[in-house]
């Protein structure tokens, strides 16, 4: 069944009619007055800058609301102030006893519905409302409605399906985000004859004005004498709503958040998909990409440019993602900064080689900063290392006893050396790590060697996981790597020490001498000039003599303290 509203422009020309279609089975829900059309027509008048005359019978409260809507939107959109005249105002409608909720299977609608279903009888939901509003996506929206119907059947609730042509009138004038509230509420009111409450799920966490179609003041102005338009549960922020949905099997398995894909499902590449997958990570979902068509890729996140109004969605990810998800957290921080036209943060570990035997520098730094400062972002990030003015990286305080125990076993290991290096520094193709492995074999005999097999795949994750790399390091007394210049590499030193393995950085003679002069004696012994490699003593006693002082030096502090001091200049 179709409800049709005829429209005439100020110049007397005809406009396309406003039509709302509902299923014949829902005809008893139909509001027979012109009240439901008022919000859309008020938005149309504001967009065109034309006064509005409503000739059908309009609920008194809805008439006042239409005037408020037209006034607000004309002000926000900087169009001509418009007046709203209603020729047939009737007394307030008698409210029904039902309660409807706009339902999309998105995070907000699902969490709001769960709150209502779990609440008392005063918040009883009687109908789910699905609005088909995009005429260009009829096939996709039809499939979405089928998914809504399956959920409604499982919940034992009737699904009211409404289709509106409002966007054919408003899309030429304003973006969808500016008119979403008037369109959806206006369409829902068509079937509100038996409802006293209509629940709007998308709701900001406070009363700040958004000046768009979801603005709290705008939504509040859409109530009628018979149907109160109310908001979803404000106690839950968006990321808390995701955690709420995760706790309900049907909600999680049927989650539909994507609005940009061309087919039903979740594309996994748009802002809403990447946001939701990241929020599921934050909520502890063991399979955060389940139900999405693409993996959660930090590179895709980093390419986003979130708008200022999306700050309440992005900020919890930047502030709350755990150290184990530091790459994802940094990707959101970078995306947010780029979206606001701000320079990216200078952070510890952004250009560090990847971790092989455990967490990388970003994860270690995030854990230390959170433990020491309560935040993963340092106000300033100086160099990591052991030269004067640098901030040392050390094994976590909780690992100190284990590290000392492994150090005591080093003399019994069967291999004198290992070269374990997945990273190709700065995309170099010079084969320095492989050359180092060959020289070690000639000088000390066979030893474990793990190197990247595809030179151009330097960004790919290591083939061997951390457990396998740890096993390699624990089979050797010494871990060696090549570096042309610079400081003693913090991550490689800590990874080796954590496995009871002597870390040795091999360098050209001149940079090696400069670095050794700048380091404490205990750590200067970890720097080897290339010319001296073949004369290096890797016997058990010689390794222990170098390793024990270095371990003592590294375990005199812990990253939680050092990073906090380095961040705040303490």
CB atoms within 10 A of CB 491: 22
Q: Give the pLDDT band (50/70/90) at residue 424.
A: low
CA-closest candidate to residue 395, choices 547, 555, 525, 562: 555
At residue 122, does pLDDT exceed 70? no
3-state secondary structure of 306: coil
Question: Which DSSP letter does residue 22 get?
Answer: E
Whether residue 183 contacts residue 83, with contact meaning beta carbons closer than 8 Å, is answered with no
Q: Residue 427 pLDDT more than 60?
A: no
Look up residue 44 and give its two tokens.
């149309």
Asked if the model's pLDDT at residue 244 lies above 90, the reply is: yes
Res 10 pLDDT > 80? no
Cβ pair 502, 546 in contact under 8 A: yes
Most confident of 84-98, 147-161, 419-433: 147-161
Of residues 140 and 19, more confidently modeled: 19
Asked whether the predicted pLDDT for residue 94 surpasses 70, the reply is no
Query: Token digits for 185?
Result: 């509420």
Q: Where are the domains of the chain?
A: 2-238, 257-345, 397-554
pLDDT at 152 (0 to 100): 94
376-404, pLDDT tens digit by residue? 887 777 788 888 888 889 998 889 999 99
Determine what percent of the chain is predicted with pLDDT higher than 70.
92
pLDDT value for 409: 92
More confident residue, 445 or 262: 445
- State pLDDT tens for residues 472-510: 999 999 999 999 998 999 999 999 999 999 999 999 999
Element (H, E) at 542: helix 540-554
Judged against a pLDDT cut of 80, whether residue 423 lies above it is answered with no
Tell me: pLDDT of 265 over 70. yes
By percentage, how much of the chain surpasses pLDDT 90? 60
Are 4 and 17 in contact, with CB atoms under 8 Å apart? yes
What CATH number matches the domain at 397-554, 3.10.450, 3.30.1490, 3.40.50, 3.15.10?
3.40.50
CA angle 550, 556, 561 (to 5 degrees): 125
Q: Given this model, what pLDDT does residue 322 score?
A: 93
pLDDT at 7: 77
Q: What is the pLDDT, as a whole number, of residue 464?
A: 85
HEC states along 52-84?
Answer: EEEEEEEEHHHHHHHHHHHHHHHHHHCCCCCCE
Q: What is the mean pLDDT of the chain?
A: 88
Q: Quote the pLDDT of residue 542.
A: 96
pLDDT band at 234 (very low <50, low <70, confident <90, very high): confident
Secondary structure (3-state) at 99: strand
Collapsing DSSP to helix, strand or coil, 231 comes out as: strand
Contacts of 387 (CB under 8 A, 6+ apart): 487, 515, 518, 519
159-164/18-22 β-pairing: antiparallel
336-357 mean pLDDT? 85
Name the pLDDT band for 300 (thresholds 50, 70, 90): very high
- Residue range 397-419, pLDDT digits in tens: 889 999 999 999 999 999 999 99
Report d(CA 29, CA 20) in Å as an integer. Answer: 13
Report pLDDT for 139. Answer: 60
* Residue 514 in tokens: 């400069």
Task: State in Å, rounded, how far the first CA of the chain is from the last one.
Answer: 72
Q: Is the pLDDT of residue 120 over 70?
A: no
Among 258, 17, 242, smallest CA distance to 141 is for 258
Looking at residue 264, its pLDDT comes to 78
CA–CA dist 381, 563 (Å, integer): 9
The pTM score is 0.86
Span 249-269, mean pLDDT? 87
Q: 197 to each of 26, 181, 201, 393, 523, how far by Cα in Å?
A: 17, 16, 13, 58, 71
Contact 73/47 with Cβ under 8 angstroms? Answer: yes
As a whole number, mean pLDDT of residues 281-303 equals 95
Q: How confident is the model at residue 437 (pLDDT cuts 50, 70, 90)?
A: very high
For residue 140, pLDDT beyond 80: no
Element (H, E) at 219: helix 216-220
**Band of residue 261 on the pLDDT scale cut at 50, 70, 90:** low
Helix locations, 105-170, DSSP H: 107-118, 138-155, 166-170
Q: How far apart are CA 569 and CA 173, in angstroms?
A: 54
Instruction: Please give the Cα distance from 40 to 526 (Å, whole number).
Output: 73
Residue among 420, 108, 77 nearest 257 (CA) = 108
Mean pLDDT confidence for 21-41: 89
Query: Assign residue 201 a region: left if phi > 0, alpha if psi is -120 to 50, beta otherwise?
Result: alpha
- pLDDT for position 470: 95
């Amino acid at each position: 069944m179709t409800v049709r509203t005829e429209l005439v422009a100020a110049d007397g020309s005809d406009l396309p009619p406003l039509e709302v279609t509902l299923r014949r089975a829902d005809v008893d829900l139909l509001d027979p007055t012109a009240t439901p059309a008022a919000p859309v027509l008020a938005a149309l008048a504001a967009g065109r800058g034309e006064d509005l005359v409503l000739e059908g019978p309009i609920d008194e409260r809805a008439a006042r609301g239409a005037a408020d809507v037209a006034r607000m939107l004309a002000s926000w959109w900087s169009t001509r102030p418009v007046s709203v005249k209603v020729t047939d105002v009737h007394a307030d409608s008698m409210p029904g006893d039902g309660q409807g909720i706009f339902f999309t299977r998105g995070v907000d609608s699902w969490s709001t519905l769960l709150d209502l279903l779990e609440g008392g009888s005063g918040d009883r939901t009687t109908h789910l409302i699905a609005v088909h509003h995009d005429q260009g996506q009829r096939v996709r929206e039809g499939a979405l409605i089928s998914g809504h119907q399956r959920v409604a059947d499982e919940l034992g609730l009737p699904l009211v399906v409404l289709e509106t042509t409002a966007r054919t009138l408003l899309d030429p004038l304003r973006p969808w985000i500016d008119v979403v509230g008037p369109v959806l509420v206006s369409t829902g009111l068509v079937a509100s004859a038996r409802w006293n409450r209509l629940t709007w799920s998308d709701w900001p966490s406070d009363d700040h004005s958004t000046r768009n179609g979801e603005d709290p003041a705008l939504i509040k102005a859409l109530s009628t004498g018979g149907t109160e338009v109310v908001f979803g549960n404000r106690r839950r922020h968006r990321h808390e709503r995701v955690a709420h949905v995760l706790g309900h099997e049907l909600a999680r398995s049927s989650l539909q958040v994507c609005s940009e894909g061309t087919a039903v499902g979740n594309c996994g590449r748009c802002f809403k998909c990447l946001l939701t997958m990241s929020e599921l990570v934050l909520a502890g979902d063991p399979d955060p990409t389940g139900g999405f068509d693409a993996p959660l890729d930090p590179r895709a996140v980093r390419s986003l440019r979130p708008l200022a109004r999306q700050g309440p969605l992005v900020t919890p990810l930047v502030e709350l993602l755990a150290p184990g998800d530091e790459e994802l957290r940094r990707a959101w921080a970078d995306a947010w900064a780029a979206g606001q036209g701000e320079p990216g943060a200078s952070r510890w570990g952004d250009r560090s080689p990847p971790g092989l035997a455990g967490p990388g520098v970003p994860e270690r730094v995030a854990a230390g900063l959170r433990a020491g400062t309560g935040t993963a972002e340092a106000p300033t990030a100086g160099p990591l290392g052991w030269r004067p003015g640098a901030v040392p990286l050390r094994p976590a305080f909780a690992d100190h006893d284990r590290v000392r125990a492994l150090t005591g076993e080093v003399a019994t290991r069967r291999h004198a050396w290992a070269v374990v290096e997945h990273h190709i520094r700065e995309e170099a193709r010079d084969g320095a790590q492989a050359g180092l492995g060959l020289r070690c074999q000639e000088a000390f005999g066979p030893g474990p060697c793990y190197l990247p097999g595809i030179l151009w795949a330097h960004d790919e994750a290591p083939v061997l996981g951390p457990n396998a790399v740890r096993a390699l390091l624990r089979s050797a007394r010494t871990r060696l790597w090549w570096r042309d210049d610079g400081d003693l590499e913090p991550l490689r030193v800590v990874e080796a020490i954590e496995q009871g393995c002597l870390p040795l950085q091999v360098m050209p003679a001149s940079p090696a001498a400069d670095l050794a002069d700048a380091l404490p004696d205990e750590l200067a012994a970890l720097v080897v000039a290339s010319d001296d490699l073949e004369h290096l003593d890797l016997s058990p006693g010689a390794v222990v003599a170098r390793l024990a002082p270095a371990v003592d030096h590294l375990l005199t502090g812990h990253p939680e303290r050092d990073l906090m001091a380095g961040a705040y200049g303490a």
